[in-house]
Amino acid sequence: MILSVRDLMVRFGQVRAVDGVDLDLDAGEIVALVGESGCGKTTLARSLLGLVAPTRGQINFDGQPLDYRRLKPFRRQVQLILQDPLGALNPRHTVYDAVAEGIRIHRVPGNEEERVADALSRAGLRPAERFFLRYPHELSGGQRQRVVIAGALVLSPRVLVADEPVSSLDASVRGEILGLLLRLRAELGLSVLVVTHDLGLAWNIADRVAVMYLGRIVECGPTAEVLNAPRHPYTQALLSVVPDVGRTRQQVLAGEPPDPANIPSGCRFHPRCPVVMPACATAVLPVLPVLDLQAPHQSACLRT
Amino acid sequence: MSLLDLREVHVAYASAAGPIPAVRGVNLSVERGEVLGIAGESGCGKSTLASTVLRLLPPSATASGQVLLDGSDVLTMSWGEIRTVRWAEAAIVFQGALHSLNPVQRVGEQIAEPLRLHRTTKGVRARVSELLQQVGLPESRAKAYPHQLSGGQRQRVMIAMALACAPDLIIADEPTTALDVMVQAQVLDLLTGLVRELDMALVLISHDLGVLGTTCDRIAVMYAGEIVEVGPGLSLFDHPRHPYTQALSGAFPRIGDPRARYAPIGLPGDPPYPGELGVGCAFHPRCPLAVADCLAEPVPLTDGVRCIRVDG
């Protein structure tokens, strides 16, 4: 297990952004962390990168607990890819400088130019030398995202954390970038945690899916099982509103997720749940345990 | 007579290197009670086309052709006439609700603004309450500032503004792009419900063919300023004929489709630069079916598809 999270809790004052999460990421595995804005998925991803210190719980990398006083070697191994490549790239840095920055920060020995060229061509920008002196504004959206990915690859990381990696890209480019993530996994054995609200993306590339609601994982399991036969009413509702012709009736939930500073008692989904029972308002649901890869999927619902 | 009738509409932006065509000969019509989708990616001209309908283009743009709104040509109207058309006959809901709303004015006042512009003085407050109810917000939210509302609520405020003067046509430019799937479903339900209830017409612009396929009666797909395919919503999404529409349709996979597992569909390359288009098909450099003939001459829109490799 390359990354594992146990009983993770991240609080900002009264806000319980991540409220008890167990999650594993295996070597060479692609896991999609799915949920709506405000569900805590980005906070969870940030704490996996050591950007936010957890209030409680533990994060293990390669069997070792994360040492918050010595994060630099860890950060080299776990790289972040952000949603908006135009925002992630310095407009006054060339592609070469943007990709080489990580090597310089981590003082990686060896030929810098070779490493940059290798990372760019792995990210699909070929011939790499032609892109060295370009600026972000001269590139298309898809090319910019490839530069961001090359900047992560140049450090030979073992894990990529990608936060909405394609949501700002055009539809026709989206598939190309997702294909790139699959190829990197196959060629380099990278593990990828994709944070997204897009269930289609999960269906496209993820081995496992974890669905998050209001700080907790409410359903988790192999992608095909969770998305073909969702068990938690929240996952069922999310799936029913994905635009798709011929799908069963939509289950549009009213309102929006409650304030994470004021999480409902019992099952946290019960105020919006279409199949709520009286017991749901008071029942204490345990944190979903971590499953090994072969096990069937689990959902945190009294009915299942 | 159609409510909106676009005839040979061309729009070009001036640049140092000469005019750059953004919309190249679009013919489209929208009937009352109809939901028309316009699909396409950034730079394809769909937002330019939307702005043309209300003459919201920047001064660097020149439009030609005819934009007939209820029979009268918007492109030849005087500014006074246009002011009476905006909000009252046609209104636009823009994509980024946070950027389109005034951050230091209460939303109730902002919804009242089009009413006041159109000289309504009596019953403004009652009308604002009614509009808020119509879009599913409690009346008390009139006192809120935009930052106190969620993304979905802000988009509802934008829709209430558009409805204020009871227009016949609403153009919604990527109204749900920044929203979560659940909130997106709520907003789309609201818009299509209003069209039926108030007998309006809705033009829905999006890059997501799935969203359009499930909500629109008819869809037009744009590429490089032209319509490359037009047809009934469901069948266009389910059985796309133009190779570009096929790629767009495949980009958002059907969950449960085993062919899409570990096989995301994309298109290599990028859309063409509008200043450098040849005579033939603009899509051919990225097209899996391209042959030499594609470049020879302009490809007409035949039986709803602009492609020589597709049989009508």
The model's pLDDT over A162-182, given as tens digits with 9 standing for 90+, comes to 999 998 888 888 999 999 999
Check whether residue B261 and residue B126 sit in a common domain: no
**B283 and A CB contact within 8 Å:** no
The residue among B181, B234, B244 with the most chain A CBs within 10 A of its CB, best to mutate, is B181
Domains parsed from chain A with CATH numbers: 3-299 (3.40.50.300)
Give me the half-sphere count of Cα atoms (radius 13 Å) on the Cβ side of residue A206. 30
Using the beta-carbon criterion (under 8 Å), do A173 and B255 form an inter-chain contact?
A: no
Check whether residue B136 and residue B214 sit in a common domain: no
pLDDT score at B210? 87
User: Which segment of A83-92, A111-120, A125-134 scores lowest on mean pLDDT?
Assistant: A83-92
Check whether residue B84 and residue B187 sit in a common domain: yes
Residue A284 has pLDDT above 80, yes or no: no
pLDDT score at B2? 92
B:242-261 residues touching chain A, CB 8 A cutoff: 244, 247-248, 250-257, 260-261
Of B145, B166, B187, the last residue of a domain is B166
| CATH number, domain with residue B34 | 3.40.50.300
Q: What average pLDDT score do residues B284-306 get?
A: 93
Residue A287: is it exposed, middle or buried by C-beta count within 10 angstroms (0-12/13-18/19+)?
middle
**Nearest neighbour of A256 by CB, restricted to B150, B244, B271:** B150
Is B146 a member of any domain?
A: yes
pLDDT score at A252? 86
Which residue has better confidence, A27 or A242? A27
pLDDT score at A289? 67
Check whether residue B42 and residue B83 sit in a common domain: yes
Instruction: Report the distance separating Cα A270 and Cα A233, nearest Å.
Output: 10
Partners of residue B234 in chain A, C-beta under 8 Å: 245
Using the beta-carbon criterion (under 8 Å), do A176 and B252 form an inter-chain contact?
A: no
Q: What does pLDDT average to over chain B?
A: 91
Check whether residue B159 and residue B175 sit in a common domain: no
> Using only C-alpha atoms, what is the Rg of chain A?
20
ipTM of the complex as predicted:
0.86
Is B203 a member of any domain?
A: yes
Q: What does pLDDT average to over chain A?
A: 90
Check whether residue B137 and residue B230 sit in a common domain: no
Using the beta-carbon criterion (under 8 Å), do B264 and A142 form an inter-chain contact?
A: no
pLDDT score at B20? 93
Is B300 a member of any domain?
A: no
Using the beta-carbon criterion (under 8 Å), do A253 and B182 form an inter-chain contact?
A: yes
pLDDT score at A295? 62
Which residue has better confidence, B298 or A285? B298
Confidence of residue B97 (pLDDT cuts 50, 70, 90): low
pLDDT score at B14? 94
Helices A112-122/A95-105 angle, 10° precision: 120
Is B297 a member of any domain?
A: no
Q: What average pLDDT score do residues A82-95 get?
A: 91
Helix, strand, coil percentages, rounded to 5, for chain B? 40, 20, 40
Q: How far is A180 from chain B (nearest CA, A)?
A: 10
Q: What average pLDDT score do residues A44-59 get?
A: 92
B176 and B186 Cβ atoms separated by less than 8 Å: no
Using the beta-carbon criterion (under 8 Å), do A243 and B256 form an inter-chain contact?
A: no
- Looking at residue B165, the DSSP 8-state letter turns out to be T
The amino acid occupying position B8 is E
Q: What average pLDDT score do residues B262-267 get?
A: 90
Q: Which residue has the tokens 């890819």?
A: A81
The amino acid occupying position A16 is R
**B184 and A CB contact within 8 Å:** yes
Residue of B nearest to A37 (CA): B180
**A175 and B CB contact within 8 Å:** yes
Is B278 a member of any domain?
A: no
Non-local CB neighbours of A271 within 8 Å, separated by 6+ positions: A258, A264
Q: Reduced to 3 states, what is the DSSP secondary structure of residue A142? A: helix
Of B166, B195, B219, the last residue of a domain is B166
Of B228, B249, B265, the last residue of a domain is B265
Using the beta-carbon criterion (under 8 Å), do A256 and B237 form an inter-chain contact?
A: no
Phi-psi region of A204 (alpha: psi -120 to 50; beta: other; left: phi over 0): alpha
**A140 and B CB contact within 8 Å:** yes
**Nearest neighbour of B260 by CB, restricted to A204, A243, A256:** A204
Confidence of residue A294 (pLDDT cuts 50, 70, 90): low
Q: What average pLDDT score do residues A189-211 get?
A: 95
Q: What is the DSSP string of A190-247?
A: -EEEEEES-HHHHHHH-SEEEEEETTEEEEEEEHHHHHHS--SHHHHHHHHTS--TTP
User: Which segment of A37-41, A50-54, B266-270, B280-284 scores lowest on mean pLDDT?
Assistant: B266-270
Residue A246 has pLDDT above 80, yes or no: no
Q: What average pLDDT score do residues B122-144 get?
A: 91
B205 and B38 Cβ atoms separated by less than 8 Å: yes
Using the beta-carbon criterion (under 8 Å), do B266 and A143 form an inter-chain contact?
A: no
pLDDT score at B277? 86
The residue range of the domain holding B178 is 1-89+169-265
B:137-156 residues touching chain A, CB 8 A cutoff: 150-152
Using the beta-carbon criterion (under 8 Å), do B250 and A224 form an inter-chain contact?
A: no
Q: What average pLDDT score do residues B166-194 get?
A: 89
Question: Tens digits of per-residue pLDDT, B12-65?
Answer: 999 998 899 999 999 999 999 999 999 998 889 999 999 999 999 999 999 999
Phi and psi torsions of A33, nearest 5°:
-100, 110
Q: What average pLDDT score do residues B195-200 get?
A: 90
| Structural domain count, chain B | 2
Is B213 a member of any domain?
A: yes
Question: Tens digits of per-residue pLDDT, A5-16?
Answer: 999 999 999 999
pLDDT score at B312? 54
Is B66 a member of any domain?
A: yes
Is B193 a member of any domain?
A: yes
Partners of residue B252 in chain A, C-beta under 8 Å: 171, 200, 243
- Residue A114 in tokens: 């070779």
